[in-house]
Structure 1
Amino acid sequence: MTRNSRHRAIAAAALLAAAPALAGCGAGFDAITNKPYAPTEALTVNTKGINISQAFFLGPDSGAQLPVGGATPLYLSVVNTNQTPDTLVGLGVDQSLGTAKVGAPVTLPANQRVSVGKPTPTILIEGLKKPLRGGESIKVQLQFANAGIVPLTIPVITRSREFTAYPPAPGATPAPTPTPTPTATAEGEHGSSGH
């Protein structure tokens, strides 16, 4: 191997070793919330006559967090495709995450779309035992009076983009305010010309 070939091989190896680190630099501190996601992606479920086309827990504003002790509301779009009405009566979650609260059973008429959580969230996970920043997934069991238990893995999404119209999750900490960067004045940019 010639001297130039050896230098090229070392440079190529260094570039390959640094590539993963350099790729992560552009993502910033909120890398998980900067990834595009869709709350309906991989969540459309049609089981036991219950069609869930959208499901998400609302997290904090981008750059903030839901603190320990806080709560995250559940939003669902559900169609009961059975011939008889059903009722969403419960939510099961791992107790290491928090406690599920269903404020009132949700009636699901036959063949009619019901938006759970709109206009007021009624199903929550309260007393969070770990902070949530958005981007996490939560395994739950939705309990229906007739259809029984429907397991789902539901994403926690940040309150950004099209979700800013939703009310903030209870107890969410505010996003940090960006520090303004000083800008040069016209005189400072061009300096004093002495004219």
Structure 2
Amino acid sequence: MILTNRSAWSLRGFAVVVAAALAPAIAGCEAGANAPTQQWHQPTAGASAVVNNTIRINNVFVLGAAPDSSLTPGGSAGMFLALANNGTPDRLIAIAAPGTATAVQLPAGGVGLGNRQAVFLTGPAPQVVLHNLTRSLIGGQYVRIVLDFQRAGLVTLRVPVMPRSQYFATFSPVPASPAATPSPLASPTA
């Protein structure tokens, strides 16, 4: 069989189309069934926000109880977050959790954020604590959190309550308050 220029170009074109069609299939098989993308990995499940194009608030979440359990009213819950500032220095001076907790404890003096500085309040022990919960909290719920920055002002976030399991099992719950020790009773005298 004699190939003409026209038939040679047709075969070359066909070969290029077949190669282009097979390339993605061949490349996809190379990683195998044990590729890192096939393994479980933690998504960034927490709330995030950017304030004034300078302060980033990342991966904010409240640590809940183990699955099938809840944090009870009157108790405490840890909150975890990361902050980064690329602008004028600022300070996180307060946090409120309206409808969820009567008080939120920050590190003493608030959290300073210098220019080009990141602060990780990410544990494993909580540095931000919601005290005196006003309602039960279970994993999967959301709570309203209001962050108050000295310069940037108020920022309201809808923050998830993450159950203490899988990746979140590595975070420590709020330490229990020391139990009150009963005082010795006076013994009757004869």
TM-score by length of structure 2 reads 0.63
Deviates more, 1:120-129 or 1:155-164: 120-129
Quote how far apart the aligned CAs of 1:37 are: 7.4
Larger RCO, structure (CA 8 Å, separation 6 or more)? 1
For residues 38 and 81 of structure 1, the distance between their equivalents in structure 2, rounded to whole angstroms, comes to 21
Question: Which of 65, 68, 74 in structure 2 is aligned with 1:69?
Answer: 74
Question: Which of 134, 149, 157 in structure 2 is aligned with 1:152?
Answer: 157
1:102 aligned onto 2:106: yes
Matched residue, 2:65: 60
1:121 aligned onto 2:108: no
For residues 46 and 129 of structure 1, the distance between their equivalents in structure 2, rounded to whole angstroms, comes to 29
- What SS does the aligned partner of 1:163 have? helix
Quote how far apart the aligned CAs of 1:96 are: 5.7
Quote how far apart the aligned CAs of 1:103 are: 3.9
Question: Stretches of 4+ moved more than 4 A in 1?
Answer: none
For residues 106 and 173 of structure 2, the distance between their equivalents in structure 1, rounded to whole angstroms, comes to 18
Matched residue, 1:80: 85
Quote how far apart the aligned CAs of 1:170 are: 4.4
* 1:115–1:125 distance in 2 versus 1, CA, 3 Å: same
1:134 aligned onto 2:155: no
For residues 102 and 44 of structure 1, the distance between their equivalents in structure 2, rounded to whole angstroms, comes to 19
The letter for the 2-side match of 1:67 is: T
Aligned-pair RMSD on alpha carbons? 2.1
For residues 87 and 101 of structure 1, the distance between their equivalents in structure 2, rounded to whole angstroms, comes to 15
Question: Which of 93, 97, 102 in structure 2 is aligned with 1:93?
Answer: 97
- Contact (CA 8 Å) 1:46, 1:52: kept in 2 or not? yes
Aligned length: 133
Structure 2 residue ranges without an equivalent (≥5) = 1-41, 177-190
* 1:100–1:136 distance in 2 versus 1, CA, 3 Å: same
Please list, as runs of the form range in 1=range in 2, the aligned pairs for 1:29-68 lying within 5 A after superposition.
Answer: 38-40=44-46, 43-48=47-52, 49-68=54-73
What whole-Å deviation, never above 9, does each CA across 1:26-85 have from its counterpart, x for those lacking one? xxxxxxxxxx97423xx3311122111210011111122111111111111111121x32
TM-score by length of structure 1 reads 0.61
* 1:96–1:57 distance in 2 versus 1, CA, 3 Å: closer
Structure 1 residue ranges without an equivalent (≥5) = 1-35, 172-195
